[in-house]
Structure 1
Amino acid sequence: MIRRALVTGGAGFIGSHVADRLLEHGYEVEIIDDLSSGRRENVPEGACFHHADIASPDAARLVREGRFDVLCHLAAQIDVRKSVNDPAADARINILGTLNLLEAIRAGGHGTRVVFSSTGGAIYGDFVPIPSVEDMPKDPESPYGIAKLAVELYLAYYGRVHGLETVALRYSNVYGPRQDPHGEAGVVAIFCNRLLKGEPLTVYGDGRQTRDYVFAGDVARANVAAASVSLPAARQVDVRAYNIGTGLETSVLDLAATLQRAAGTSVPVDHTTPRAGELPRSAVDNSKAERELGWRPEMALEDGLRMTYDYFARRARGMAA
């Protein structure tokens, strides 16, 4: 029997990769996206597209009546700075929008599994060892991180009280083709665009701050694994949560150098004022995902950066044509 999947945010950067992978695995895929940041061209051929807001009655009706086997929930407000400037708007999308979907699943009674895209960078905060492990204390430093943690707590509640199958995937810094070069989440895409224009790369502070860069295709594989694997019994919030990253720290300076090497080009690196509140280090331990999901990252950073740069180069040539 063909399994059915609904991908929220499926016209976006990561969501479209998840939809691609589900289709490759034989799923019948439908997508919800309001196109506020997603692109219609990212929706893969073979997926059924619904232009809708996840907080809307239309989205709830689709979830309630769609008899989906899995809901991969990636639709979100993802800009940390926007969450700081307007935490209520962030909560309306990231918390209330998710609750709209969860209540629809509960009302539908089909047993749809929820695979939620959470964050490994923003959820743990400054006070835990690196690489972070799932059961470490959480002290998010932004409304965005707080909202992601709140949704995870709701997922644990729905699992324990209502019997829903829920999984939280805590991503490190995701990069790859289709990444948005605008906003704070797209440093690799921003660097690619600057390299293509021959412009200097701007680095905040000394550039020694580290991140754990994981390729979008590997993240998509994690979603497919989480869609069907046997889950532990619903208990505390961390029991069904999995870090999805490489466990490796890469400084912004090293990222810039590796990307220039992958691109076969060189531009100056300009340093500017550090950003307030930026984490000095971030990386996640992925051993639980390897043990329980059978997942591990496959893409080496330099190879993934080369693929990403090639994508932006092809896109730039297409726009110039």
Structure 2
Amino acid sequence: MPLPGKGNEKTAAVIGADGFIGACLVRALSRGGIPTLACTGERPALRDGIPDPDLLEADVVFFVPERISPAVAERQPGRGAEVLAELRALLTALSVSGRRPVFALESSGGTVYDATREPPHDELSAVNPATAYGRAKLAQEEVVAAAADGVSPVVLRVANFYGPGQGASAGYGVIGHWMAAVLAGKPVRIIGHGDSRRDYVHIADVTDALLAVARRASVLRAEKRPVVLNIGTGTGTSLHELHRRFEAVVGRALTCEREPARSFDRQDSWLDVRRAAEVLGWRPRIALADGLADTWRHCLARPHAVEDEGQVPPPVRGPAR
């Protein structure tokens, strides 16, 4: 069925609509009144190299597949190459269409920057990924930037995202894993030393940023160079502090198991997000305490929610702190 956009109405396509971010984004675009093509494993953007006709009509294309994680990238080096090949084929198809849509790539704010530099990292900070996942994400950024004649590249370097409905799949999201552990009556795991700090951003804030890209497509298309934006909270939170906040939300002390750091784990990493405010008019609005409470309420209401990625209700918003 063709996208129903008419006149000046924006239309969008989401590659990876069956992942956590993708499913949340499709819901946000729908609530925002933006007709959207949801590309999944059952309805791929490309089939035998031929693009879905609706894909070529989209004003904004979001590339948010979640087939690799930091852990998967280390164990299966070929997975990153597969995603990169898909990305190249997709960009070629869009370039041939001659419409030059905005192409928004979800990249990694936590792994592409040089870990030897003190955070917060802004978009001009040095990149020097030390993990297979970070290298895979940076390679995606480079491929998208090189396709600027055929698409308008927008790279969103997203921090550690979490929220209602996030699954506890391997390599993704300490918060999702902790929620699943508590529901199962198991200890929560702290990997590495608990003083390492990360930037935890609620999925609703992430989708708000992506929605802002769709709404400002005309402005972004006029940019002469690829637009790179950090999407996070601008604040680093240690695992120890996250554990304390989680205990406060759950309402009881939680047993911990400690494990040594893995080869792909980083130390401190959080983002400077001021440029996203300037370019998109976007700011994070959900404080960590509110986001954890929101996610925990969802888990209690749906004990198997951590296994149902993407089934996300509208979040409860709280004032940013």
Q: How far does residue 143 in structure 1 lie from its aligned partner after superposition? A: 2.3
CA distance in 2, matches of 1:281, 1:318: 30
Q: Could you report, residue by residue, the CA deviation over 1:91-143 in whole angstroms, capped at 9, with x for unpaired residues?
A: 111x1111111111111222321111011011113122201111111111122
Match 2:48 to one of 57, 63, 78:
57
Matched, 1:259 2:246: yes
> Structure 2 matches for 1:156-167, cutoff 5 A?
156-159=145-148, 162-167=149-154
Percent of residue pairs bearing the same amino acid type = 29
- Pick closer, same or farther for the CA change 1:193–1:177 going to 2, 3 Å: same
- The corresponding residue for 1:4 is 11
Q: How far does residue 81 in structure 1 lie from its aligned partner after superposition? A: 2.1
Q: How far does residue 233 in structure 1 lie from its aligned partner after superposition? A: 2.9
How many residues get paired? Answer: 296
CA distance in 1, matches of 2:55, 2:174: 39
Conserved? CA contact 1:208–1:252, under 8 Å: yes
> Structure 2 matches for 1:152-231, cutoff 5 A?
152-159=141-148, 162-229=149-216, 230-231=219-220
Match 1:82 to one of 72, 87, 90:
72
Structure number with the bigger relative contact order (C-alpha 8 A, sep ≥ 6) is 2
Q: Secondary structure at the match of 1:118?
A: strand
Q: How far does residue 274 in structure 1 lie from its aligned partner after superposition? A: 2.4
- The corresponding residue for 1:18 is 25
Match 1:279 to one of 260, 266, 269:
266
CA distance in 2, matches of 1:214, 1:119: 12
Matched, 1:122 2:111: yes
Q: How far does residue 284 in structure 1 lie from its aligned partner after superposition? A: 0.7
Q: How far does residue 199 in structure 1 lie from its aligned partner after superposition? A: 2.1
Q: How far does residue 66 in structure 1 lie from its aligned partner after superposition? A: 3.9
Conserved? CA contact 1:54–1:75, under 8 Å: no
- The corresponding residue for 1:41 is none
> Structure 2 matches for 1:110-149, cutoff 5 A?
110-149=99-138
Matched, 1:293 2:280: yes
Match 1:244 to one of 202, 207, 231:
231
CA distance in 2, matches of 1:54, 1:132: 33
Question: How does the TM-score come out when normalised to structure 2?
Answer: 0.86
Conserved? CA contact 2:37–2:55, under 8 Å: no
Q: How far does residue 63 in structure 1 lie from its aligned partner after superposition? A: 5.8
CA distance in 1, matches of 2:79, 2:186: 35
CA distance in 1, matches of 2:265, 2:305: 35
Q: How far does residue 279 in structure 1 lie from its aligned partner after superposition? A: 0.9
Conserved? CA contact 1:262–1:303, under 8 Å: no
Conserved? CA contact 2:202–2:286, under 8 Å: yes
**Bigger Cα displacement from structure 2, 174-183 vs 143-152:** 143-152
Unaligned runs of 5+ in 2: 1-5, 307-321
CA distance in 2, matches of 1:267, 1:82: 28
CA distance in 2, matches of 1:71, 1:118: 14
- Pick closer, same or farther for the CA change 1:183–1:63 going to 2, 3 Å: farther
